[in-house]
Chains A and B, each alone.
Chain A
Amino acid sequence: MAKQKPVKPARPDLAPPPEKRGLGALLASLLVETRSVMPAAGATGLSLVLVIAAMCFLASLTLGAALSVGHAARSWTSELAGALTVEIKPSRDMDSETQLDAVMTVLSKTPGIITARPLDREDIRALLEPWLGQGKVSDDLPLPTLVAISVDMANPPDIAGLSLEIAAAAPGALLDTHRQWQAQLLRSARTAEGFGYGVLAIVAATTIAIVTFATRAGLSANHEVVEVLHLIGARDRFIAAEVQRHFLHLGLRGGLIGLALSVLAFMGAGYSGETDSLFLVPVWGLRVEIYPWLLSVPIAASLVAVLTARITVFRTLEQML
């Protein structure tokens, strides 16, 4: 079939002038325009961005808090686990200096011990003051001698063997492993950490559900576009790619807005000058190394939006001939 088009001289010079936009329209277009054939600054596009921004804000806050709690719990337990104390009670069989020398000799020969420092009388007095009151510790009060030990956690000593050696070396000397404290603190820290991750799981699941529903709503508002593209001969792959690109952009924008707000919130808390902690979360802000983890929130939200859009659009297209 011979084909020609109705001919008139081509007039590429008649390219329409760029559309003029106000500041509001420019902002709206920056938020929702995606250079796809899908509608840009539609009400559904904007509301999807806002919903994703709000959910990502909450998810980033929760993730930051959960990571902080986890980090705090781990650092406390490792600090505690890396410390031992030898308590040397006065004995009739050996004077205190000989006791201390015997203990220090054992400690210096034991591998896996980084430092062993006898606390002087002032240190011990300071430790007792909270219980006995300032100035109540008289010089003739018999005080135990304490040795603070820090342990190489990568290569820890044999605690049971060390305990026996110390007891044998000096009567009245006792190795305190803080095990009772450690177990209790570890339990509380793990509970707090578990609670943090539990809240994070709930917020993440809610975010996924809301982003999924919002994406579906956005896509059903664009059903006409999908159908027209289909009827004029667009392949499913083309339509899906356009739809995915559209929702990837909307998802990333919403996610980054939410992330920025949460970072501002954490930093704002830092500048508020508070130095207290709120349920293990230091409210003066997040540790620097946690911030990169927050990036996973907008990425995950965009992926959820893209996957939902892809699955929904293929399902819609399958129902069409």
Chain B
Amino acid sequence: MIRFENVGMRYGMGPEVLRDVSFHLAPGSFHFLTGPSGAGKTSLLKLMFLAQRPSRGLITMFGRDIATLPRDELPTMRRRIGVVFQEFRLLDHLTTYENVALPLKIQGRNEDSYRADVHELLHWVGLGERMKARPPTLSGGEKQRAAIARAVVAQPDLLLADEPTGNVDPEMGQRLLRLFVELNRLGTSILIATHDHALVSSAGLPELVLQNGGLIVRG
């Protein structure tokens, strides 16, 4: 489903942050992405959620070479990918409900068709009582759960999460992991970038390890 072949990436004229990265994520797979800070985890995720182009190499997503994909087809592809950003990137002026419903709204769907689903999902992640709250009034953990809810609400084929358990206690971390496992069971491929070794070892799932810009697959 996602294939990277000898992908390199640099910002402007700077040094390569990713070098000869090659891997393949099969449909329905679940991987962790680990590595020390600065190893290029976020850069790799940016390539995968189509925020950056690689400097070299080949990236194939859902069977399409992204280098030759016309620009007006990118939104359709992005809608198949749910992203939990490291810094959440919730829109402060919208309520939690509106933030979570945003991926459905931009698809042009009528609010009546998704209101109940969004309410359900918000209850599921424990934000049922915080629907009308705006992000500045949410705790770190609540923001994180809202960001996760926004990433999964449109039932993406691929979920990318950058440190999704970084701001929650271990109990909530485990609960979110169960949410991801459940999503994965329903067919969504998942890649979670994390520093949380306990989470990775408790899950017992394969790991993509980034080190010095290179990548190895473990497990």
Contacts and interface: CB of A to CB of B under 8 A. Distances in A.
Contact of A233 (B27, B78, B115): B78
B121 interface: yes
B5 interface: no
Interface string A28-44: 00000000011111100
B86 to A, nearest CB: 13
B157 to A, nearest CB: 6
A5 B106 contact: no
Given A2-B186, A232-B78, A232-B106, A10 B91 contact: no
A14 interface: yes
Closest 6 CB pairs of A and B: A16-B132, A233-B78, A233-B79, A1-B187, A39-B93, A10-B116
A166 to B, nearest CB: 80
A15 B119 contact: yes
Interface of B: 27-28, 49-53, 72, 74-79, 81, 83, 89, 91-95, 97-98, 102-103, 105-108, 115-117, 119-121, 123-124, 128, 131-132, 150, 155, 157, 179, 182-183, 186-188
Given A11-B116, A232-B78, 20 more contacts: A5-B117, A5-B186, A6-B179, A7-B120, A10-B119, A10-B120, A11-B119, A11-B120, A14-B128, A15-B115, A17-B132, A19-B132, A37-B102, A231-B51, A232-B83, A232-B103, A234-B75, A234-B106, A321-B50, A321-B51
A315 interface: no
Interface in A211-247: 224-225, 228-229, 231-236, 238
Contact of B49 (A2, A3, A7, A231): A231
A11 B121 CA distance: 10
B187 A321 contact: no
Contacts of A15: 115, 119
A3 B186 contact: yes
Q: Which of B28, B51, B120, B182 gathers the greatest number of chain A CB atoms within 10 Å?
A: B120
28 contacts: A1-B157, A3-B188, A5-B117, A5-B120, A5-B121, A5-B186, A11-B128, A12-B119, A15-B119, A17-B132, A37-B98, A224-B89, A228-B91, A231-B49, A231-B50, A231-B51, A231-B83, A232-B79, A232-B106, A233-B76, A233-B77, A233-B81, A233-B106, A234-B75, A234-B106, A235-B106, A236-B75, A321-B74
Contact of A14 (B105, B106, B119): B119
Contacts of B95: 16
A40 B120 contact: no
A227 to B, nearest CB: 8
Contacts of A235: 72, 75, 106
Contacts of A184: none
A8 interface: yes
Given A3-B155, A4-B186, A10 B105 contact: no
A40 B75 CA distance: 25
A192 B42 CA distance: 66
A6 to B, nearest CB: 5
Nearest to B123: A8
A48 to B, nearest CB: 15
Contacts of A4: 186
A321 to B, nearest CB: 6
B102 A232 contact: yes
Contacts of B91: 37, 39, 224-225, 228
B117 A10 contact: yes
Interface in A169-185: none
Contacts of A232: 78-79, 83, 102-103, 106, 150
Contact of B124 (A6, A37, A238): A6
B120 A8 contact: yes
Contacts of B53: 321
A115 to B, nearest CB: 70
Nearest to B93: A39
A2 B50 CA distance: 25
A12 B128 CA distance: 11
Contacts of A41: 93
B95 to A, nearest CB: 7
Contacts of A236: 72, 75
Given A10-B120, A11-B119, A16 B179 contact: no
A42 B97 contact: no
Given A12-B119, A233-B76, A233-B79, A321 B52 contact: yes
A14 B130 CA distance: 11
Nearest to A238: B106
B28 A1 contact: yes
Nearest to B116: A10
Contacts of A11: 116, 119-120, 123, 128
Contacts of B52: 321
A2 to B, nearest CB: 6
